[in-house]
A and B are shown apart, each in its own frame.
Chain A
Amino acid sequence: DTAVSQTPKYLVTQMGNDKSIKCEQNLGHDTMYWYKQDSKKFLKIMFSYNNKELIINETVPNRFSPKSPDKAHLNLHINSLELGDSAVYFCASSQSGGMSTDTQYFGPGTRLTVL
């Protein structure tokens, strides 16, 4: 009965490869997010989706492409991986979004290491 789950938990890959991270929430929430947490622990929003529609794209390189097949899933595909992409990526979800302010629930994170 995990609320927000991500796979894989760890991802080690070579520069230039393409990889995907998957996220699923079983909370019935309408809004999902991707965050990047760098080595200094700073949490930065990357994308936000509401009911499968992209709401926020925070000046993320277009090598990053989120995809939401339905409102319970939000995947992140990264092309041509670079060393600077190494970080922990967190998925999150909240009930509604927009002008309401609901609690965001985070997934366990995916630690991406680019060699």
Chain B
Amino acid sequence: GENVEQHPSTLSVQEGDSAVIKCTYSDSASNYFPWYKQELGKRPQLIIDIRSNVGEKKDQRIAVTLNKTAKHFSLHITETQPEDSAVYFCAATYNDYKLSFGAGTTVTVRA
């Protein structure tokens, strides 16, 4: 089955700086890579996703890159703000019956 590894487990950044979270996956058949943000006590919510037919996708201050050859993908948050503080999860799947999640990255944005 799919195994997703996520690094780092915690990330502290100064407000205004960038944050980068990296994930690797094991199953070369995986073709869908969503990123979820979970604020304290809340539900995970999709913030961006990428499919294997593209290498990069941007949405305002967040972007995701995918390297299929190396089987890794990354989340980039620019100009971080206090409201970006949360746990971020990467995930991978080739069908959405079974989304495999990374272990999560706790991001803290220091004011």
Contacts and interface: CB of A to CB of B under 8 A. Distances in A.
Contacts of B89: 43
Contact of B95 (A43, A101, A107): A101
A106 B99 contact: no
Given A31-B96, A42-B101, A103 B31 contact: no
A99 to B, nearest CB: 5
16 contacts: A42-B104, A45-B99, A48-B98, A56-B98, A90-B44, A98-B95, A99-B94, A101-B51, A101-B94, A102-B96, A103-B34, A104-B96, A105-B46, A106-B36, A106-B44, A106-B45
Given A45-B98, A48-B98, A104-B99, A90 B43 contact: yes
Nearest to A45: B98
Nearest to B33: A101
A48 B104 contact: no
Interface in B84-102: 87, 89, 93-101
Given A50-B97, A98-B96, A103-B46, 16 more contacts: A41-B103, A43-B104, A44-B101, A45-B99, A48-B97, A56-B97, A56-B98, A94-B96, A99-B95, A101-B32, A101-B93, A104-B96, A106-B36, A106-B44, A106-B45, A109-B43
Interface residues of A, number: 27
A62 interface: no
Interface string A76-115: 0000000000000010001001111111111111000000
Contacts of A48: 97-98
Contacts of B103: 40-42
A101 B100 CA distance: 13
A55 interface: yes
Which 10 A-B residue pairings sit nearest by Cβ, starting from the closest?
A101-B32, A106-B43, A43-B101, A48-B97, A101-B96, A41-B104, A55-B97, A106-B44, A99-B95, A108-B43
